[in-house]
């Protein structure tokens, strides 16, 4: 038999990030939390928690936490129908849904979808950010229950919904373009002009150059792991970068930003993947994501 009390303790540790915070949530002592997790690890025969600040789950720990989230969703719906089953003296059980998305979606349209969902639901949300080419890995590893991904490949045990494409424009300030691209946007000028890169996984600038010029260029870059900083750095003349149209439309219309090559955009298709076991019970979540994406993203052919 599965020890669900122990799994709830493990889930609380991972969700809160520490044994002490989990103890507070569960209204028990930290030593009781530690003992429960240790007993569960002995039973499984593997470490489930990487002790640190914060505590994080191992691969097996993630699998157990994912299972507990599915159980929590089932219990959530059951207690709505049969509230008398709830323990009146126990701690209030609130289900937290772990969801992964890319930073540019979170900074443009995805937060609106989450806000719409939260207005009609008492689920809590835990949003994680990674590159769109990697968020599907979070779902495959059991770290999240749903993800916005750039991958159209089906994920085992999940349902997939096309959302549309996030359109990017290669932008910089007028002054930067005058200084760096007086001779035009060429492989030579791009190899000299500083670009902006979110992190080591960000290939948008390189993809745009390859799509537009038909060849790869080694780009000098500033590293800025912030969607809003990309826009601000572009406005301040630090470099050029690929910015979502939702964030730069007003700046382009006002002339504060200029396209390196007008009309040469890059569209990144996005897909919604959600755990199949939870999908039916989270129809409202998928609906909110699809509706906001439908009126915000570019329709894919």
Average pLDDT over the chain reads 93
CATH architecture of residue range(s) 166-268: 3-Layer(aba) Sandwich (3.40)
Which of these ranges, 36-45, 62-71, 164-173, has the smallest mean pLDDT? 62-71
How would residue 181 be classed by pLDDT, with cut points 50, 70 and 90?
very high
Taking residues 249-267, what's their average pLDDT? 97
User: In this predicted structure, what is the pLDDT of residue 91?
Assistant: 59
User: In this predicted structure, what is the pLDDT of residue 114?
Assistant: 98
CA count, 13 A, side-chain hemisphere, 154: 5
3-state secondary structure of 159: strand
For the chain, percent of residues with pLDDT exceeding 90: 80
User: In this predicted structure, what is the pLDDT of residue 290?
Assistant: 98
C-alpha 233 chain-centroid distance: 23
Q: Is the pLDDT of residue 128 over 70?
A: yes
The pair phi, psi for residue 196, each rounded to 5°, is: -120, 135
| C-alpha pair distances (Å), 210 with each of 170, 205, 217, 242, 245 | 13, 9, 8, 13, 20
Signed CA dihedral, 131, 137, 141, 147: sign only: positive
- Cα dihedral angle (295, 297, 299, 301), rounded to 10 degrees? -160
CA nearest neighbour of 61 among 38, 32, 82, 94: 38
For 42-88, what is each residue's pLDDT tens digit? Answer: 999 999 999 999 999 998 998 898 888 888 887 777 767 777 766 66
The answer to whether 69 touches 278, Cβ cutoff 8 Å, is yes
Q: What is the DSSP string of 47-101?
A: --EE-SSS-EE-HHHHHHHHHHHHHHHHHHHHHHH-GGGS-TTSPP---EEEEEE
For the chain, percent of residues with pLDDT exceeding 70: 95
User: In this predicted structure, what is the pLDDT of residue 197?
Assistant: 97
Taking residues 256-277, what's their average pLDDT? 96
User: In this predicted structure, what is the pLDDT of residue 84?
Assistant: 72
CA distance 83 to 31: 31
Rg (CA), the chain: 23
For 143-156, what is each residue's pLDDT tens digit? Answer: 899 999 999 999 99
Tell me 85's DSSP state.
G
3-state secondary structure of 102: coil
CATH level 3 topology of 1-86: Arc Repressor Mutant, subunit A (1.10.10)
Residues of the chain with CATH 3.40.190.10: 166-268
Q: Determine whether 71 is exposed, middle or buried from the number of CB atoms within 10 Å of its CB (0-12, 13-18, 19+).
A: middle
CA distance 91 to 110: 31
Residues of the chain with CATH 1.10.10.10: 1-86
First to last CA, the chain: 49
User: In this predicted structure, what is the pLDDT of residue 40?
Assistant: 93
């Amino acid at each position: 038999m599965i020890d669900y009390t122990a799994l709830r303790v493990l889930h609380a540790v991972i969700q809160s990030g520490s044994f002490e915070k989990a103890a507070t949530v569960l209204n028990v002592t930290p030593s009781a939390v530690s003992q429960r997790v240790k007993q569960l690890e002995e039973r499984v025969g593997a470490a489930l928690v990487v002790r640190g600040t914060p505590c994080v789950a191992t691969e097996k720990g993630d699998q157990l936490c994912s299972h507990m989230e599915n159980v929590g969703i089932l219990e959530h719906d059951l207690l709505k129908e049969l509230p008398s089953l709830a323990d009146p003296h126990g701690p209030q059980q609130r289900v937290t849904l772990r969801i992964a998305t890319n930073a540019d979606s979170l900074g443009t349209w995805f937060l609106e979808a989450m806000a719409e969902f939260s207005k009609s639901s008492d689920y809590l949300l835990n949003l994680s950010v990674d590159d769109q080419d990697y968020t599907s890995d979070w779902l495959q590893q059991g770290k999240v229950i749903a993800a916005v991904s750039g991958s159209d490949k089906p994920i085992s045990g999940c349902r997939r919904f096309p959302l549309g494409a996030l359109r990017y424009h290669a932008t910089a300030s007028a002054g930067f373009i005058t200084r760096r691209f007086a001779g035009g946007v060429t492989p030579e000028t791009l190899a000299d002009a500083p670009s902006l890169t979110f992190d080591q996984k960000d290939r948008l600038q390189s993809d745009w150059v390859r799509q537009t010029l038909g060849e790869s260029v080694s780009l000098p870059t500033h590293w800025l792991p912030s969607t809003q900083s990309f826009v601000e750095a572009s406005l301040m003349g630090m470099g050029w970068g690929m910015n979502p149209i939702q964030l730069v439309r007003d700046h382009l219309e006002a002339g504060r930003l200029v396209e390196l090559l007008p009309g040469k955009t890059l569209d990144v298709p996005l897909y919604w993947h959600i755990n199949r076991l939870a999908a039916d019970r989270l129809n409202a979540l998928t609906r909110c994501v699809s509706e906001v994406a439908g009126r915000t993203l570019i329709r894919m052919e």
